Amino acid sequence: MAEIKFEITQTLGVLSENNKGWRKELNMVSWNGALAKYDLRTWSPDHKKMGKGITLSAEEFSALQKLLAQ
Protein backbone atom coordinates (compact mmCIF):
# COMPACT_ATOMS: atom_id res chain seq x y z
CA MET A 1 0.00 0.00 0.00
CA ALA A 2 1.31 3.45 -0.90
CA GLU A 3 2.19 5.80 1.93
CA ILE A 4 -0.16 8.75 2.35
CA LYS A 5 1.68 12.00 2.97
CA PHE A 6 -0.03 14.89 4.70
CA GLU A 7 0.78 18.29 6.12
CA ILE A 8 -1.48 20.31 8.41
CA THR A 9 -0.95 23.78 6.99
CA GLN A 10 -3.36 25.60 9.32
CA THR A 11 -5.32 24.66 12.44
CA LEU A 12 -8.74 26.28 12.36
CA GLY A 13 -10.24 24.89 15.57
CA VAL A 14 -10.96 22.00 17.91
CA LEU A 15 -14.52 20.70 18.23
CA SER A 16 -13.99 18.15 21.01
CA GLU A 17 -11.46 15.98 22.83
CA ASN A 18 -11.91 12.46 24.21
CA ASN A 19 -10.45 11.01 27.42
CA LYS A 20 -7.42 9.63 25.52
CA GLY A 21 -6.48 13.06 24.17
CA TRP A 22 -7.68 12.51 20.60
CA ARG A 23 -9.24 15.71 19.27
CA LYS A 24 -11.79 16.31 16.53
CA GLU A 25 -10.28 19.21 14.58
CA LEU A 26 -11.00 21.41 11.59
CA ASN A 27 -7.73 22.01 9.75
CA MET A 28 -6.36 22.92 6.36
CA VAL A 29 -4.51 19.79 5.20
CA SER A 30 -2.39 19.14 2.12
CA TRP A 31 -2.68 15.48 1.06
CA ASN A 32 0.18 14.06 -1.02
CA GLY A 33 1.49 17.53 -1.87
CA ALA A 34 -1.82 18.81 -3.30
CA LEU A 35 -3.38 22.17 -2.51
CA ALA A 36 -4.61 22.25 1.12
CA LYS A 37 -8.32 21.63 1.69
CA TYR A 38 -10.65 21.89 4.67
CA ASP A 39 -10.41 18.69 6.69
CA LEU A 40 -12.53 17.51 9.63
CA ARG A 41 -11.34 14.41 11.51
CA THR A 42 -9.95 13.09 14.79
CA TRP A 43 -6.21 13.32 15.45
CA SER A 44 -3.95 11.74 18.04
CA PRO A 45 -2.27 14.19 20.44
CA ASP A 46 0.97 14.13 18.38
CA HIS A 47 -0.85 14.40 15.01
CA LYS A 48 0.90 11.25 13.74
CA LYS A 49 -2.28 9.15 13.67
CA MET A 50 -5.74 10.08 12.44
CA GLY A 51 -9.25 8.74 12.36
CA LYS A 52 -11.74 8.78 9.52
CA GLY A 53 -12.88 12.16 8.38
CA ILE A 54 -13.98 14.31 5.49
CA THR A 55 -12.10 16.67 3.21
CA LEU A 56 -13.86 19.59 1.53
CA SER A 57 -12.86 21.99 -1.23
CA ALA A 58 -13.36 25.70 -0.61
CA GLU A 59 -16.59 25.57 -2.63
CA GLU A 60 -17.92 22.61 -0.65
CA PHE A 61 -17.00 24.25 2.63
CA SER A 62 -18.80 27.45 1.57
CA ALA A 63 -21.90 25.42 0.67
CA LEU A 64 -21.77 23.68 4.07
CA GLN A 65 -21.53 27.05 5.84
CA LYS A 66 -24.64 28.23 3.97
CA LEU A 67 -26.55 25.09 4.93
CA LEU A 68 -25.62 25.45 8.59
CA ALA A 69 -26.62 29.13 8.63
CA GLN A 70 -30.24 28.31 7.64
pLDDT tens, position by position, 1-30? 788 899 999 999 999 999 999 999 999 999
Query: In angstroms, what CA-CA distances link 48 with 62, 64, 66, 69?
Result: 28, 28, 32, 33
Give pLDDT, residue 3: 86
**pLDDT per position as a tens digit, 47-67:** 999 999 999 999 999 999 999
**pLDDT per position as a tens digit, 25-44:** 999 999 999 999 999 999 99
Q: Which residues contact 47 (CB under 8 A, 6 or more apart)?
A: 8
In the chain, the domains with their CATH numbers are: 6-69 (2.30.31.70)
Phi, psi for residue 15 in degrees, rounded to 5 = -90, -40
Give pLDDT, residue 1: 75
